Amino acid sequence: MLDRFVDALIRHRLPLLIAGVVVTLISSVPASRLTFDQSIESFYASDDPHLRDYLDSKSLFGGDEFVVVAYSEPKLFDDHDRLLPDVAQRVREFAGKLAGVPGIEREQVQNLADAVSVERFAFLEKQQTKLRELFRGALFGDDGKTTAIVLRLLPAGRSRVPRAETFATIRRLAAEHNPSAYVVGEPLQIQDMFNYVEEDGAVLGLASTALLVGIILLIFRSLRWVVLPMLIVHITLIWTKAILVVSGMQLSMVSSMLNSLVSIIAIATCMHVTVRFQEHRESLGRIDAIRETLRELTPAVFWTCVTTAAGFAVQLTSHVNPVQSFGIMMSIGTMLVLAAGAVVLPGGVLLGKRGADPRPALAADRLGKLLSLLNDWVEHHPRPTSIVCVALTLFALAGMFRLHVETDFSKNFRASSPIVRSLDFVETRLGGAGTWEVNFSAPEKLDFEFIDRLRRVADRLRELESNGRTQITKVVSLADGVDLVPLLPLSVRLRQMRKFQPEFETSLYNAERNRMRIVLRALERQPSEEKLRLIARVEEIAREEFPDAKATGLFVLLTFLIESLLGDQWINFGLGALMIVSLMTIAFRSLKIGLMSLVPNLLPIAFVIGTMGWIGLPINIATAMIASVSMGLTVDSSIHYFAGYRRARSHGLDFFAALRATHQGVGLALAYANLALVLGFLVLSLSHFIPLVYFGILVSVAMLGGLIGNLILLPLLMRWVRL
């Protein structure tokens, strides 16, 4: 059956190649319409308590999607603590320009000039001190020079322009302002994350492709054998993206790895074909050489794609939408590598004569000798090799207990990025840039007893400190507004407050659903452990007065983002391992091989994760999935190694001779494939988005570890069980 399939591919190679090109051209139209799901909510399972609390708050109070534009004046106030007239005029003019930006709630723009204007409200004349305190840390800083304009974003469904356009306009106006203003806000950080992933993915994708082309060209010195793997990669990507668009799916932050991972699978496959074809060309004609190559490698390539796709398909058990979509995309992409290879390789190899054969691989003799030495070492020193492997395993396991999660979302960006520079300015001059809340039940009719309880909680939150530093930089409660209107019944105070600040009461109290909140600001740039302790402490204090109190907001969502992604990963990792063992057992009809295939692929991943713990590298958006992703990639080497070993044994070689032959043939292809891919993925270290940097480096290390594991550990295990 295999012979008939290979003969059919060779016989119909030109029609297949033409059909593949036509389908790709047709698919490129829908593929170009693939979009990103850029909502932070998509990173959480629908029943996640943090997401549920956030959505409840949005329905109660409209959602706090704010952008803060801050800058410094030489002096804000006169000697009597009144805002200088010329400053007030400039603030109002700048606020007016920002209010006109599409996507902004024009009527809810807050600025210092309007906030401290008391001409129309006689009851505020004697409350200047309290009034200033109400807006200190929000609209002006302690230095008396820094001021801010707070913009509330329209809900995404109501805005006539995309968020990206709104933010770009705000930043342009901020840059044009004299002096230049700084722009911060959690929605802006989320948008920057997606922008960097999209922009860097395109630019770095081209750079890594160019680097891979150069490396493959350097190794095999044949343009044809550079074009073929690149063609398979891009055809696979276009087909995959077209299928996603037709099925109504979107790319997510996690599935931005699609291009990179498809490149790994396709290029590794082509490297094996190239090395094997070059070997056969020493004794066979071109058609017979490609026929023998396809006969020998098709089963291994098929099972490589099936096991990799199955490993990714396990992600469908996740409760997080981006992880599920990632599993679907990668499963489709992996199987399409198989289809694209079948369409492209026979026709591409045999089309024309010029440059049809790859040159002997660069430094093949030296690398072959090195692989032989490695094989001889494992053969003659099994005990020391085993001891080293066990020691590395224990080292990795100990490091895993030192892992910590990075919840400071700003650490995802380089220090030189605009968002980090803006955060540094705002958090040193103005106060915290992280906006959140604690909300709780409230009576249908407010009274002074409830307001007193509210005031006690707010005062205690203001006193929260850690290491001598105030943890909550701003606390705003309804009690603050009530206290501005003295010596009057509560209903009259609230009525007067509505005249002064129409949105103040409704932004804090939902009378229809009997829910109240205290709005908080905290430092965005602080250690993850402090954020988690702060959120827990705020809820603890609020629950002493209001037992059903709960903290929520974008600040909280971003803090627990990585934990949301991590939630299913260890379960998925275990299911993936079980799936790979099962498929390897079926492929080679041997439970021993199925179990053995795990060891050389698990150890490198454990070593990478353990080393992260030892060197203090935190788990972020990209590294949260590194274990489940890497295992599906490194097991490919095991399949080719076992297939090569069995092929050698079928030719009559004994155990040790078969291992040496496998090292010389399959080992050479594995070494070249991993070298090319590692160098290509290290390009990601140039990204502006730190998780992409980590992803590129860690996947490269995991692939190198997988290579070493399959060239050292696998022969060692095979020696013990004598397959």
> What are the backbone dihedrals phi and psi of residue 303, each rounded to the nearest 5 degrees, phi first?
-70, -30
The alpha-carbon radius of gyration of the chain (Å, integer) is 31
pLDDT value at 323 more than 90: no
In this prediction, residue 121 carries a pLDDT of 53
pLDDT in tens, 70-104: 999 999 988 877 889 999 999 999 999 999 999 99
pLDDT value at 253 more than 70: no
In this prediction, residue 117 carries a pLDDT of 73
3-state secondary structure of 349: helix
**Which pLDDT band holds residue 126 (cuts at 50, 70, 90)?**
low
SS3 for 352-385 is: CCCCCCCCCCCCHHHHHHHHHHHHHHHHHCHHHH
Same topology, domains 65-184 and 423-559? Answer is yes
Residues in contact with 159: Cβ distance below 8 Å, sequence separation at least 6, in sequence order: 102, 103, 153, 166
Q: What is the C-alpha separation between 278 and 293, in angstroms, rounded?
A: 9
In this prediction, residue 158 carries a pLDDT of 82
In this prediction, residue 466 carries a pLDDT of 63
In this prediction, residue 565 carries a pLDDT of 67
**Which pLDDT band holds residue 118 (cuts at 50, 70, 90)?**
low
pLDDT in tens, 135-192: 888 889 888 899 999 999 988 778 889 888 999 999 999 999 999 999 998 889 888 8
- % pLDDT > 70, the chain: 93
pLDDT in tens, 615-669: 888 777 767 667 767 777 778 888 888 888 888 888 888 888 888 888 888 888 8
pLDDT in tens, 358-384: 777 667 778 778 888 888 888 888 888
What does the DSSP assignment read for 193-213? HHHHHHHHHHHHHHHHHHHHH
Lowest-pLDDT range of 196-200, 292-296, 352-356:
352-356
pLDDT value at 29 more than 60: yes
In this prediction, residue 519 carries a pLDDT of 93
In this prediction, residue 127 carries a pLDDT of 64
The CATH architecture annotation of domain 423-559 reads 2-Layer Sandwich (3.30)
Average pLDDT over residues 591-604: 83
Average pLDDT over residues 204-221: 77
Whether 541 and 435 have beta carbons less than 8 Å apart is answered as no
Domain boundaries of the chain, sorted by first residue: 2-33+191-407+563-721, 65-184, 423-559
Q: Which amino acid is at 51?
A: L
Whether 704 and 634 have beta carbons less than 8 Å apart is answered as no
Mean pLDDT of the chain, nearest integer: 84
pLDDT value at 58 more than 60: yes
Q: What angle do CA 443, 444, 448 make, to 5 degrees?
A: 55
- Which one of 247-261, 275-289, 374-388, 400-414 scores highest in mean pLDDT? 275-289
Distance set, CA 61 to CA 81, 488, 514, 650, 681 (Å) = 33, 27, 12, 72, 45
In this prediction, residue 256 carries a pLDDT of 63
Higher pLDDT, 223 or 80: 223
The CATH architecture annotation of domain 65-184 reads 2-Layer Sandwich (3.30)
**Which pLDDT band holds residue 588 (cuts at 50, 70, 90)?**
confident
pLDDT value at 26 more than 90: yes
Higher pLDDT, 109 or 319: 109
